[in-house]
Amino acid sequence: MVQTSKSQQTIHTSNRIMTTLDFTQVELKHLITHHVGNKLRDEKIELATEETSLAVNTQDFLLRYFFLPIKAEEFFSFTHSVKIDMNEIYTIIGNSFSKQKSFINSSQNIAKLLYEHSLHPRIKKGELNIAYFSNIVLDDKKIDAIGIFKSETHVPFLKMKNQKTKFTIHHDYGFEIKGIDKGCIIFNIGQKNGYKILLVDNANKLEEAQYWKNDFLQVKPISNEFHKTNEFLGITKQFVTKQLSEDFELSKADKIDLLNRSVEYFKTHSTFEKRDFEKKVFQENGIIKSFRNFDETYRVNYDLESNDSFEISPQAVKKQVRVFKSILKLDKNFHIYIHGNRDLIQQGVEKDGRKFYKIYFEKEF
Give the domain-ending residue among 222, 243, 272: 222
On whether the CB atoms of residues 214 and 257 are closer than 8 A, the answer is no
pLDDT in tens, 36-51: 999 999 999 999 999 9
- Can you tell me the distance from the alpha carbon of 136 to that of 147, in angstroms, rounded to the nearest whole number? 12
Burial class (CB in 10 A: 0-12, 13-18, 19+), 167: exposed
Domain presence at residue 65? yes
Instruction: For residue 156, give the H/E element and its range.
Output: strand 155-162
- Can you tell me the distance from the alpha carbon of 235 to that of 31, in angstroms, rounded to the nearest whole number? 40
pLDDT in tens, 259-286: 888 989 999 999 999 999 999 999 999 9
* 302 vs 329, more confident: 302
If asked whether residues 113 and 210 sit together in one domain, one would say: yes
* Residue 269 domain boundaries: 226-359
- The radius of gyration of the chain from alpha carbons, rounded to an integer in Å, stands at 25
Give the domain-ending residue among 222, 241, 271: 222
Q: Crossing angle, helix 225-238 and helix 285-301, to 10 degrees?
A: 120
pLDDT at 200 over 90: no
pLDDT at 14 over 70: no
On whether the CB atoms of residues 23 and 43 are closer than 8 A, the answer is no
> What does the pLDDT average to over 194-203?
86
pLDDT at 24 over 80: yes
pLDDT at 156 over 60: yes
pLDDT range class, residue 16, cuts 50, 70, 90:
very low
* Mean model confidence pLDDT for the chain: 86
| pTM, to two decimals | 0.78
Domain presence at residue 3? no
Q: How many structural domains are present in the chain?
A: 2
Give the domain-ending residue among 222, 248, 281: 222
> What does the pLDDT average to over 307-315?
91
Handedness of CA 142, 33, 176, 202 (dihedral sign): negative
The full DSSP string for 7-73 is SEEEEEETTEEEEEEE-TT-EEEEEEEEEE--GGGT--EE--SSPPP--GGGHHHHHHHHHTT--SS
> What is the per-residue pLDDT for 206?
56
- Can you tell me the distance from the alpha carbon of 62 to that of 149, in angstroms, rounded to the nearest whole number? 11
* 179 vs 298, more confident: 298
If asked whether residues 131 and 274 sit together in one domain, one would say: no
> What is the per-residue pLDDT for 100?
78
